[in-house]
Amino acid sequence: MKTPRIGLIGIVKDDLEADFWGTLERIVRIGYEGVELDAREFERQGLKPSVFSKRLSKIGIELVTVHCTKYTYLKYGDDLIQQAAAMGSNNLCIAWGPTESADQLSSDADLYNQMGERCREFGMALTYHNHDHEFAVMPGSRERYLDALMRMTDPKAVRMHLDIAWATFGGVDALAYAELYAERIEVLHMKDLQGLEEGCDAATGDRGKARFFEVGEGIVPCSEVAEFAVRTGVDWLVVEQDRPAELPPWESVQRSLGNLQAMLNASVKH
């Protein structure tokens, strides 16, 4: 069985803004193997994408994914994909997609298929990263928006970047949902929730009230998902927490890493 590698996104973003390269070095020392960043990060650092890639390699951290939206792609076009590849990223991730109508979703699916094929030409995968709103059922249908998007896109061109906390907040069983799309998952965002409130069962919960916890310390089936990742060969598990809970950021990333490593070790032994 293949043990997934562990990456990080967010949580220590203030430190990254203050000292980008020093913070990455600290992330590596803690034990993280990869990081997810914005697709324009090389610009913020004043570097060419290829030079940015070399700096990451020197530090010893892998670029799991660079994030964008469809609007970013429509602004920069094919340059965005070429630059992501030059940065050394494994994946280009659509980090947010609207769910306005079936027609809009169909149009987006066509766009993602085109982007995905182009990404493959550069040795990357295009992944779609969910929040909770994609789990709402489409009007006049029994199908969820995310299921419709997956149905309308080529599995080879559009992969899944499943966020298990937002899936739970959106009213689905995160483990069952991961099993449903096991062959399409490239990356799993590992994070936890304190609980749910009214509306979450129909993907209409108040996103602003979501309280995030360290991996394995809330209601999300993180341990079971970690076992799933080992069993199915998922490449990356990425620790995230949209908003800080009780712990300071560096304590949070260390505790989540320790919890997740213990889950993976237990899964491998079984």
pLDDT score at 185: 98
Tens of pLDDT, residue by residue over 67-80, are: 999 999 999 999 99
Q: What is the pLDDT of residue 268?
A: 79
Query: Which secondary structure element, helix H or strand E, spans residue 118, and what is its range?
Result: helix 102-121
Cα 65 to Cα 89: distance, rounded to the nearest angstrom = 5
pLDDT of the residue at 244 = 80
Task: Specify the pTM.
Answer: 0.95
Q: What is the dihedral of CA 132, 137, 138, 140, to 10 degrees?
A: -160
Distance CA 181, CA 185 (A): 6
The per-residue pLDDT for 243 is 86
- Within 8 A by CB and 6+ apart from 115, the residues are 73, 81, 92, 94, 126, 157
Q: Where are the domains of the chain?
A: 5-269
For 5-269, CATH gives 3.20.20.150
Task: State the residue for tokens 């237990």.
Answer: 266
Q: Model confidence over 108-136: pLDDT tens digits?
A: 999 999 999 999 999 999 999 999 999 99
Q: Would you state the pLDDT for residue 246?
A: 82
pLDDT < 70: residue spans in the chain:
270
- H, E, C per residue of 63-80: EEEEEECHHHHHHHCHHH
